[in-house]
Structure 1
Amino acid sequence: METAEIRRRFVAHFERHGHTVVPSASLLLDDPNLLFVNAGMVPFKPYFLGQETPPWQRAASVQKCVRTLDIEEVGKTTRHGTFFQMCGNFSFGDYFKEGAIRFAWTLVTGSVEDGGFGFDPEKIWVTVLPSDTEATQLWHEIAGLPFERIQERGLEDNYWNMGVPGPGGPCSEIYVDRGPEYGPDGGPNADEDRFLEIWNLVFMQESLSQVRSKADFDVEGPLPARNIDTGMGLERVAYLLQGKENLYEIDEVFPVIERAAELTGRTYGADPVDDVRFRVVADHVRSALMLISDGVTPGNEARGYVLRRLLRRAIRSMRLLGYDGPALRELLPVSRDRMKLSYPEVESGFDRISRVAYAEEEAFAKTLLAGTELFDRAAQDVRGTGQSALSGAQAFTLHDTYGFPIDLTLEMASEAGLSVDEDGFRALMAQQRERAKADARSKKGQHADTAVYRGVLDEHGPTDWLAYETLETESRSLALFSGGAPVPVLRAGEVGELVLDRTPFYAESGGQAADAGTIEFDGGRLEVLDVQRPVRGLVVHQVRVVEGELPASTKALHARVDHEWRTGARQAHSGTHVVHAALREVLGPSALQSGSYNRPGYLRLDFGWTSALSPAQVHDIEQVSNQALRADLPVGWQYMTLEQAKEWGAIALFGETYDDTQVRVVEIGGPWSRELCGGTHVEHSSQIGTVVVTGEASVGSGNRRIEAFTGVEGFAYLARERDVVFRLTGLLKTQPDDLVDRVSDLVERLRSAEKEVEKVRVAQLLSGGAALAADAQRIGGVHVVAHRVDGAGGGDVRTLATDVRGRLPQGEPGVVVVLGALDGKVAVVAATNDEARARGLSANDLVRAVGPLVGGKGGGKADVAQGGGTDTSRLDEALALVATEVSRTVGA
Structure 2
Amino acid sequence: MKNLYQVDLFEEKGFTRKQCPLCKDYFWTLNPDQVTCGEPPCTEYTFIGSPPTSKYKSLASIRSAYIKFFEKRGHSHVKRYPVVARWRDDVYLVGASIYCFQPWVTEGIVDPPANPLVISQPCIRLTDLDNIGRTGRHLSCFEMMAHHAFNFGKITVYWNNETVRLCFDFFTEELKIPEDKIVFKEGMWSGGGNAGEDFEVLIEGLEVATLVFMHYRQENSKLLELGNYIVDTGYGLERILWLSTGAPTLYDALFADILPEARKMLGIPEPDPSIMSTLSKYFGKIDASKTDIEKSYREIASLVGMSTEELKSTVIPLENIYAVLDHCRALMFMIGDGVVPSNTGTGYLARLLIRRAVRKLRALSPDVSLVDIMSLSLKYWTNIFIEYKDLVDTILEIVDLEEERYNKTLKKGEALVKSFIRKKLEKKEKVRTDDLIYLYESHGVPPDLVEKIAKKIGAEVKVPQNFYELLAQKASFRKIEKEEKIPLDQKLLEGESETIPLYYKDPYLFKFTAKVLKIINGKYVILDRTAFYPEGGGQPSDTGFLINKHGERIRVNYVFKVGNIVVHEISPKDSTKLEEGELIEGHVDEQRRKQLMKAHTATHILLGALRRVLGPHVWQAGAQKGVNRSRLDITHYKHLSLDELHKVEMLANKIIQENRKVHVSIEERTKAEQKYGFVLYQGGVVPGKTLRVVNIEDWDVEACGGTHCRYTGEVGFIKIIRSLRIQDGVERIEFTVGEKAVEYVQKMERSLKEIADTLGTPVEDVVHSVAKIYEEYRELRRENERLKEKILEMSKDKVLEKGTVLGEFFVIVHEIEATEFRDLLKLAALIVKEKPNAVTLLYSRRNSDAVYLILLGKTASKKIDARELGQEIMVIAEGKGGGKIDMFNGKGQYLPEHMLRNKIVEKIKTLTNVNKG
- Asked if TM exceeds 0.5, the reply is yes
Specify the alignment match of 2:168 in structure 1. Answer: 109
Paired residue type of 1:3: L
Matched, 1:93 2:152: yes
Tell me, what secondary structure is at the counterpart of 1:54? coil
CA deviation after TM superposition for structure 1 residue 532, in Å: 6.6
Partner of 1:403: 444
Question: Is the CA contact 2:83–2:124 (under 8 Å) kept in the aligned structure 1?
Answer: no
Conserved 8 A contact 2:599-2:627: yes
One-letter amino acid of the counterpart of residue 348, structure 2:
Y
| 2:418–2:453 contact (8 Å) kept in structure 1 | no
Deviation at 1:622, TM superposition (A): 3.3
Distance of aligned partners of 1:613 and 1:97 in 2 relative to their CA distance in 1, 3 Å threshold: closer
Q: Quick check: 1:494 aligned with 2:552?
A: no
In structure 1, C-alpha distance between the alignment counterparts of 2:766 and 2:747, rounded to whole Å: 16
Residue matched to 1:190: none
Q: Which residue number corresponds to residue 262 of structure 1?
A: 264
Distance 1:256 1:614 in 2: 37
**In structure 2, C-alpha distance between the alignment counterparts of 1:556 and 1:495, rounded to whole Å:** 13
Query: Match of 1:243, as an amino acid?
Result: G
The 10-residue stretch of structure 1 (679-688 or 711-720) with the greater mean CA deviation from structure 2:
679-688
Q: Distance in 2 between matches of 1:121 and 1:721?
A: 79
1:492 to 1:69, Cα distance in 2 relative to 1, 3 A: farther
Post-superposition shift, 1:314?
0.8
SS of equivalent to 1:17: coil
Partners of 2:907 and 2:770 in 1: CA distance: 50
- State the Cα distance separating 1:312 from its structure 2 match: 1.5
Distance 1:474-1:622 versus aligned 2 partners, 3 A rule: closer
C-alpha distance 8-806 of structure 1, shift in aligned 2 (>3 A) = same
- The 3-state SS of whatever aligns with 1:316 is helix
Match of 1:240 in 2: 243
Is structure 2 residue 772 aligned with structure 1 residue 716?
Answer: no
Equivalent residue number for residue 41 of structure 2: none
Deviates more, 1:33-42 or 1:468-477: 468-477
Q: Which amino acid aligns with 2:207?
A: L
Q: How many residues align?
A: 795
Deviations 1:790-843 (A, max 9, x none): 8687534432232112333xxxx623333546665765443334xx37xxx517
Q: How far is 1:93 from its partner?
A: 1.4
Question: Equivalent residues in 2 for 1:143-542 (5 A)?
Answer: 158=188, 160=190, 170-178=196-204, 194=205, 196=207, 198-205=209-216, 211=220, 213=221, 217=222, 222-244=225-247, 246-251=249-254, 253=255, 257-267=259-269, 271-335=314-378, 337-338=380-381, 341=384, 343-372=385-414, 374=416, 398-411=439-452, 417-423=456-462, 443=480, 466-467=504-505, 471=509, 490-494=520-524, 508=536, 527=556, 529=558, 540-542=565-567
State the Cα distance separating 1:124 from its structure 2 match.
3.0
When residues 622 and 463 of structure 1 are mapped into structure 2, their CA distance, relative to the original with a 3 A threshold, is closer
Displacement, 1:365? 2.7
C-alpha contact 2:159 2:231 (8 A) present in aligned 1: yes
Deviation at 1:199, TM superposition (A): 0.8
Q: Is the contact made by 2:694 and 2:702 (CA closer than 8 Å) also made in structure 1? A: yes
Measure, in 1, the Cα distance between the counterparts of 2:827 and 2:902: 20
Q: CA deviation at 1:257?
A: 4.6
Give per-residue Cα distances to partners, 1:562-581, cap 9 Å, x unaligned: 54344334433443454456
Q: Which runs of 5+ in 1 are unaligned?
A: 129-152, 179-193, 481-487
Q: Report SS of the residue matched to 1:737.
A: helix
1:845 aligns to what? Answer: 865
Whole-angstrom CA distance in 1 between matches of 2:888 and 2:743: 52
Q: Which residue of 1 is the match for residue 908 of structure 2? A: 883
Within 2, Cα distance between the matches of 1:848 and 1:396?
33
Decide whether the 8 Å contact of 2:828 with 2:842 is kept in 1.
no
| Alpha-carbon distance in 1 for matches of 2:213, 2:501 | 34
Residue 317 of structure 1, CA deviation: 0.9
3-state DSSP of counterpart to 2:740: helix
Map 1:751-790; keep pairs closer than 5 Å: 751-755=778-782, 763-785=790-812
Distance change in 2, residues 1:23/1:499 (3 Å): farther
1:310 offset after TM fit, Å? Answer: 1.3
Supply the distance in 2 between the matched residues of 1:51 and 1:475 (Cα, whole angstroms).
38
Question: Which residue in the other structure is 2:874 paired with?
Answer: 854
CA distance in 1, matches of 2:618, 2:601: 16
Matched with 2:141 is 83
Answer 1 or 2: higher relative contact order, Cα 8 Å, separation at least 6.
Answer: 2
Residue 45 of structure 1 deviates from its aligned partner by: 3.1
Q: 1:10 to 1:698 in 2, by over 3 A?
A: farther
* 2:683 is the alignment partner of 1:666: no
Matched position secondary structure for 1:46: coil
One-letter amino acid of the structure 1 residue matched with residue 862 of structure 2? S
Residue aligned with 1:176, SS: strand
Structure 2 CA distance for partners of 1:519 and 1:161, relative to 1, 3 Å: farther
Q: Secondary structure at the match of 1:47?
A: coil
The answer (yes or no) to whether the contact 2:843–2:851 under 8 Å persists in 1 is yes
CA distance in 2 between counterparts of 1:761 and 1:378 reads 40
* Cα offsets for 1:516-561 (capped at 9, x unmatched): 6678897997949456796xxxx55343256659999979887776
Query: What amino acid is aligned across from residue 368 of structure 1 in structure 2?
Result: L
Q: Identify the match of residue 764 of structure 2 among 719, 727, 737.
A: 737
Q: Is the 8 A contact 1:593 1:605 kept in 2?
A: no
Counterpart amino acid of 1:778? V
Question: Offset of 1:27 from its aligned partner?
Answer: 0.9
Q: Which amino acid aligns with 2:839?
A: V
Q: Distance in 2 between matches of 1:171 and 1:656?
A: 33
2:908 aligned counterpart, secondary structure: helix
Conservation of the 8 A alpha-carbon contact between 1:567 and 1:600? no
One-letter amino acid of the counterpart of residue 152, structure 2: G
Measure the CA separation in 2 of the matches of 1:98 and 1:650. Answer: 27
RMSD across aligned positions (CA):
5.4
Alpha-carbon shift at residue 463 of structure 1 (Å): 8.1
Q: From the superposition, tell whether residues 779 and 393 of structure 1 become closer, same or farther in structure 2 (CA, over 3 Å).
A: farther
Q: Which residue of 2 aligns with 1:814?
A: 837
Q: Tell me the CA shift for residue 50 of structure 1.
A: 4.5
**Pair 1:568–1:446, CA change in 2 (3 A):** closer
Q: TM-score, normalised by structure 1?
A: 0.72
Matched residue, 2:19: none
> Partner of 1:770: helix, strand, or coil?
helix
* Contact 1:176-1:196 at 8 Å conserved across structures: yes
Is the CA contact (8 Å cut-off) linking 2:809 and 2:838 kept in structure 1? Answer: yes
Closer/same/farther in 2, CA of residues 867 and 245 from structure 1, 3 Å limit? farther
Q: CA 1:364–1:565 in structure 2 vs 1: closer, same or farther (change >3 Å)? A: same
Identify unmatched segments of 5+ residues in structure 2. Answer: 1-55, 277-312
TM-score between both structures, scaled by the size of structure 2? 0.71
Q: CA deviation at 1:204?
A: 0.9
Whole-angstrom CA distance in 1 between matches of 2:434 and 2:793: 41
Deviation by residue 1:633-656 (Cα, 9 ceiling, x = unmatched): 443549899999999999767686
1:6-45 pair list within 5 angstroms: 6-15=62-71, 16-18=73-75, 21=78, 23-29=80-86, 31-45=88-102
Is this contact kept in 2: 1:786–1:817, CA < 8 A? Answer: yes
